[in-house]
Amino acid sequence: MTITPEREEEIDFSDSYYNSNQSILLQADSHFIIDEDDDLSNLTIGAQTGTTGEKWVLDNLINIANATMTDDQLKRYDTYTLAILDLDNGNIDAVILDNPVAESFAKDDNRRVEYVIQTDEYFGFGVSKGNTELVNGINEQLALYMESDDWATLLDKYFE
């Protein structure tokens, strides 16, 4: 889960285990372009509700001066897999999601990652607020695991 100040008000986080950015996933044959001067009024972007991807679309494409994209053009999903399904079916033009996840879905020849948005996000494990014992235990085991060869294999397989 991405560690954000808003989430830190509600839950506690482990130490970060990965740094990532957001990406825009498209159909392989898409001509989708995001540029400050582009008219986005005919595009629909999908994002999982409550994610940093949804927040980025709101903050950078909708809730800005001279925006050509409206809130109606942001389709929200309970899971990112539902957004990918709608992308594949041509119901939306793009999906914004964490870069490692987007890269994984782009391994399918029908999709591609076109843009990486530099958001410099950190992933961590979220736990109930005040559960210091659990956070400390996770951090201890996480540090040990991140020093192992298994960690490098896991990163290569799922994140790189």
Strand order in the sheet with 18-27: 74-77, 45-48, 94-98, 18-27, 111-123
pLDDT tens digits for range 84-94: 999 999 999 99
**20-119: CATH class:** alpha beta
> What's the pLDDT at 152?
86
At residue 95, the 3 state secondary structure works out as strand
Kindly state the tokens that stand for 3: 């560690």
pLDDT tens digits for range 119-140: 888 999 999 999 999 999 999 9
Residues of the chain with CATH 3.40.190.10: 1-17+124-160, 20-119
Kindly state the tokens that stand for 61: 């494409």
Domain 1-17+124-160 sits in CATH at 3.40.190.10
pTM of the model: 0.77
> What's the pLDDT at 9?
96
> What's the pLDDT at 157?
78
> What's the pLDDT at 61?
87
Residue where the block lists tokens 């957004």: 83
> What's the pLDDT at 36?
55
How long is the chain? 160
Buried residues in 57-93 as b, exposed as e (16+ CB within 10 A) = beebbbeeeeeebeeebbbebeebeebbebbeeeebb
